Structure formats: structure tokens, C-alpha cells
Amino acid sequence: MRTRTDAERGPTIEYANFVIMLLVALGIGIVAVLASALLGPKKASRTTLMAYESGNDPERGGVGTGQRFPVHFYLVAMLFIVFDIETAFFYPLAVAYQRLIPFAFFEAITFVLLLLVGYVYILKKKVLEWA
């Protein structure tokens, strides 16, 4: 039994493995959809192809249905971008943290405090309230 180490394979091969996994996983989905399209009955009528709206005729239709939706969703998405970037900055700091203390601690605290100012601001503005 021969054991290949990661060093022998090199890091690139792992990305190739990742792509293989992704293709296999997507392939399963495609095969399933194709199989169902081939095997299933096709007796669709105008009424079965109507959008579900609790038994009524759909009022407005089409992709996205043309409804207006609360701006809250937009705000949450923006906040997510801001805080996710924060998280992205935190990851390298966390991994290298033990080599950078105690300096890194004060750096991290400063960063967190700056973000907390923004967080308190959105709390006070009641952006996070879904009344």
C-alpha cells in the first residue's frame, strides 16, 4: 500500500480534485433532472401550468411577479456586505494571531470598536426592526 503525501501531489492537484467534486455534484443534479424529464408523463394543461394563488387566477404574473417588496431586505443585504468584509479581514488576523500578540490584540480591538460604532448607529436608526 503506497501512501501519497500532499507534498508529492502539490497544492494544485487539490484544486483539480475540488473541480472534479463540483462537476460530479452538478452532474448528479443534471442527470436527475434529465431522467425526470424523460420518464415523467407530459399531460400539462393550461390550468396545471397556472401559478398557484390559493385557487384564484394569478393577479399579476411573470418572473419576480412585479411586486414591490420591503426595503428592509435591501438594507440587510448591504449590512451583510459590510460585516462580511469585516469577517474576511478577521480571518487572516485570527490565523496569524498567536504570532502577533499582544500588538494584534489592540489592532483587533480598534477595528471591532470602529465597527461597533456603525453597529450602534444602525441599532439606533432601528434598521434591524421588522415591524
Partner 1 sequence: MPDWLATLLISLLKAVLLVLALLTTFAYMTLVERRLLGRMQLRPGPNRVGPMGLLQPAADAIKSIFKEDLTVTLADKLVYTLAPIVAIGMALTAFGGLPAGPAGSLLGENPWVYNLDAGILALLALTSMGVYGIFLGGWSSGSKYPILGGLRSSAQMISYELGMGLSILGLLMLVGTTSFQGIVGWQSQNGWLILFQSLGFVLFLISSFAETNRTPFDLPEAEQEIVAGYLTEYSAIKWALFQMAEYVNMITASAVMSTLFFGGWKGPQFLNALIPGVSDWPLVWLIVKIAFFLFLFIWVRATLPRLRYDQLMRFGWKLLLPLALGNTVLTAAFLAFRGQGSLWFLGVLSLGGVVALLILSDRVRTLWNQPSLRRSDPVRAGGD
Residues between 68 and 107 with contacts to partner 1, criterion CB under 8 A: 69-77, 79-80, 83-84, 87, 90-91, 94-99, 101-102, 104-105
Three-state secondary structure readout of 21-33: HHHHHHHHHHHHH
Position 121 contacts partner 1 (CB under 8 A): no
CA–CA separation, 60 and 65 (whole Å): 6
Binding mask 3-32 for partner 1 (x = CB under 8 A): xxxx--x-x-xxxxxx-xxx-xxx-xxx-x
Three-state secondary structure readout of 58-69: CCCCCCCCCCCC
CB of 100 to partner 1, least distance (A): 10
Position 55 contacts partner 1 (CB under 8 A): no
Interior angle at CA 29, CA 26 and CA 30, nearest 5? 90
CB contact set of 66 (below 8 Å; sequence gap of 6+) = 60
CB of 77 to partner 1, least distance (A): 7
CB of 118 to partner 1, least distance (A): 12
